Structure 1
């Protein structure tokens, strides 16, 4: 199957580095040693960065975050493989985070504002045979209410405040994870459906999510 890591040494090295950086959830680590990050990098000259702790530029001025960043975001969702969790991802980008989530959750729904990136994600879904992953082009900050409610919602970019439109799509007992901009920098917040908030340790800087679908791309 296309998109799977063929080199077990490189996969093991990646997992070791993730553990050292605090990504210890077994489900997240299994997903990251299964799905090849290089398969989501369009520029062949940049594929060597797939197993480095580096962000990678992709079309439309977007990025694939560092593996540690991605791992920490997914780990914060507290997903358990085998549970029938429905996950909404806001800001699908290359599709890498979506594919990782699809290894753990029962159903994943991703929203991306760039039409060109959405088309690439759909192609990769077919290559990876991910029947539990759906993607659409639109305003991710409005969510995907037709497919909700969701047990987990992940924002793959930063926001200044968590949109009420997303909070309202959480299922009973659900969690929403988002990097939130504060005067002290970005903080990873975990919002419970009952309104409780947790401030998690986070030392990354992700691009701000923008409203609306992109007009030109």
Structure 2
């Protein structure tokens, strides 16, 4: 995939802020240095926000996560460039996180509850030359067992607890990463194993939009 950063100076400034926020994994930073959020923003009036550590509204009443949240979630997965791996992303949204993961995993399977985001996402990924992402319109909180098992599963939205059955879709030694909404407007980042054992839990110090159960019937 071609490099998508149009403004290297502003991208460098964003990467510096990400390091200050604790996103330090070289593989994650390299992916974020290669792929800019602007390519996933349809509203020209919002493109300036793509180089800021801020959420960006997208269709269907959804938002693109702050880069720091995206970076922390991917960093917690422990993926490294050049390693084989199958990843499940729950909450495709704009496609930005899927594109980042495509740089780190052999194949990315992504699910999205909104048909519009799914259809637009397929077009966008094809235009950008991303070939190792498979996208499906479905209820992500049930995962995608038919394509499993996965070496890592990541939820791009907050949940009150890890949805039942998701860890069973992990390989032995796999890890699931999820923002857990425990009130007070902020989420904790949780990592669990295939057996459901908790590896660690720490504050994200920011709000993460919730994942909603079910497949949208209208949008």
Normalised-by-shorter TM-score class: over 0.9
Match of 1:206 in 2: 208
Aligned length in residues:
217
Aligned partners of 2:167 and 2:196 also within 8 Å: no
Alpha-carbon distance in structure 1 between the residues aligned to 2:162 and 2:113: 18
TM-score relative to the length of structure 2: 0.95
Q: CA deviation at 1:195?
A: 2.6
Structure 1 segments, 4+ long, off by >3 Å, are: none
1:134 matches 2:127: no
For structure 1, list consecutive stretches of 5 or more residues without a partner in the other structure: none
Aligned partners of 1:90 and 1:154 also within 8 Å: yes
Match of 1:29 in 2: 29
Alpha-carbon distance in structure 2 between the residues aligned to 1:205 and 1:10: 24
Match of 1:16 in 2: 16
Alpha-carbon distance in structure 1 between the residues aligned to 2:182 and 2:30: 32
Match of 2:94 in 1: 94
Match of 2:187 in 1: 186
1:145 matches 2:145: yes
Change in Cα spacing, 1:114 to 1:2, as seen in structure 2 (3 Å) is farther
TM-score relative to the length of structure 1: 0.96
Alpha-carbon distance in structure 2 between the residues aligned to 1:181 and 1:65: 15
Q: CA deviation at 1:7?
A: 2.1
Q: CA deviation at 1:196?
A: 2.0
Alpha-carbon distance in structure 1 between the residues aligned to 2:15 and 2:182: 31
Alpha-carbon distance in structure 2 between the residues aligned to 1:45 and 1:155: 28
Bigger shift: 197-206 or 43-52?
A: 197-206
- Secondary structure at the aligned position of 1:165 is classed as coil
Q: CA deviation at 1:3?
A: 6.9
RMSD: 1.4
Aligned partners of 2:5 and 2:34 also within 8 Å: yes
For structure 2, list consecutive stretches of 5 or more residues without a partner in the other structure: none
- Secondary structure at the aligned position of 1:72 is classed as helix
1:166-214 deviation per Cα after TM superposition (whole angstroms, max 9, x unaligned):
1110111000000112256421100012332111231121111111110
Match of 1:55 in 2: 55
